[in-house]
Structure formats: C-alpha cells, structure tokens
C-alpha cells in the first residue's frame, strides 16, 4: 500500500491550512493510500542550525523516520509574505536527502487574498533541490476564508474536483515511481 505523510505548515488553531490538508488526506485515503499527518502544532522541533543530530528534540528523529518510511508527501502551507511559511521551511530544513529524495509530493497553499502561486513555486524548488518529485496537480486556495463551511467541507464543486484529481495523481504517480501497482 502507498504510504503518504501529510505536513501542514501552520501553527494556528482553526488553521485553514490544516483544514485543506485534512480534505486532501480524506481524498488520498479514498483512492487507496495510507496517510499519516504529522501535526507540527503537537511536535517540539527546534530551529534548524545545520546540526546532524538534535538529541534533545526526539521529535526531529520521529519526523525523519516517518518521512523516510513514506512513499510520498503532502505539503500544505499558508502563503506568508509571498512565500512558504517559516514553520514548514524549518521542518523541511531539519531533514535531508536521506528522508526527502525520491518522494512524490503534492503541494497545497492557502491565502487570505487573491490566488497566486509563490508559495507553491517555493515548495516546488525546495522539493526539487532535495531530489523529490512534485506532481503537476497543485492546489492554491485564494480567499480561503470563503472556501469551507464551519464543518470544514468545501463549498466549491470545482475546487472539490481539483482535490480529487490531486489525490488520484499523487497516488498514481507514487505507484509509478515505486515501480508497482500496490
């Protein structure tokens, strides 16, 4: 079975980033993958200082082990000042090629204003730099405050369809790159 890890780059309670990640996870599970969310709000991660080990932060090793053992990733981020969130960037910096190389990755960004793709482009560059594979389907949700109902359900049918396409692409491409159909 395809194993995917989802990471949301927002520490805010009631985060739209986390809501969008959960929608993606549900869709990915529906097409046959196993998904684990690493909730950065519940992890104790240090600022990356380039060290190889962080023995006083066991969650760094948990992060690395979980990602290393996954076949693919979903990375979700709010767009802050035209870029990926510092929280998600730091989390990625705590890992290396050992964890990230070869991972098939789906990208999601949420914005309070109009849609743009700066954070997605940032993530695409980061994933490519560590030899990961980013699927062509990506999701950017502008004016995110109007995208979900209070229960976290998508209000726009076209956006819902994009999540379905995203999920199918992530699972299909992960299977292809793994060299099998499981």
State pLDDT tens for residues 93-148.
999 999 999 999 999 999 988 777 899 999 999 999 999 999 999 999 999 999 99
Q: What does pTM read for this prediction?
A: 0.96
pLDDT given at position 73: 98
Neighbours of 169 (CB within 10 A): 17
- Phi/psi for 83 (5° steps) reads -150, 175
Distance (Å) of CA 36 to CA 4, 111, 113, 162, 180: 6, 24, 29, 21, 21
Task: Say how far residue 163 (Cα) sits from the centre of its chain.
Answer: 13
Q: What is the pLDDT of residues 25-55, one digit of tens each?
A: 999 999 999 999 999 999 999 999 999 999 9
Q: What is the DSSP letter of 14?
A: T
- Closest-CA residue to 171 (of 39, 9, 10, 26): 26
Q: What CATH number matches the domain at 3-178, 3.40.50.360, 3.40.50.300, 3.10.20.90, 3.40.190.90?
A: 3.40.50.360
Per-residue tokens: 178: 């793994």
**SS3 category, 165:** helix
């Amino acid at each position: 079975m395809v194993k995917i890890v989802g990471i949301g780059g927002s520490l805010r309670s009631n985060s739209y980033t986390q809501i969008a990640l959960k929608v993606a996870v549900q869709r990915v599970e529906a097409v046959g993958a196993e998904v684990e969310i690493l909730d950065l709000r519940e992890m104790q991660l240090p600022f990356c200082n380039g060290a190889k080990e962080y023995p006083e932060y066991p969650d760094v090793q948990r992060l690395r082990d979980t990602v290393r053992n996954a076949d693919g990733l979903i990375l979700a981020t709010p767009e802050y000042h035209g870029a990926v969130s510092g929280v998600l960037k730091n989390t990625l910096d705590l890992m290396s090629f050992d964890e990230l190389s070869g991972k098939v990755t789906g990208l999601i960004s949420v914005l309070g204003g109009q849609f743009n793709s700066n954070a997605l482009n940032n993530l695409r560059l980061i994933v490519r730099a560590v030899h990961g594979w980013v699927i062509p389907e990506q999701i950017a949700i502008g004016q995110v405050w109007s995208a979900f109902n209070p229960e976290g359900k998508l209000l726009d049918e076209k956006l819902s369809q994009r999540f379905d396409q995203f999920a199918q692409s992530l699972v299909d491409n992960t299977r292809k790159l793994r060299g099998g159909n499981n």
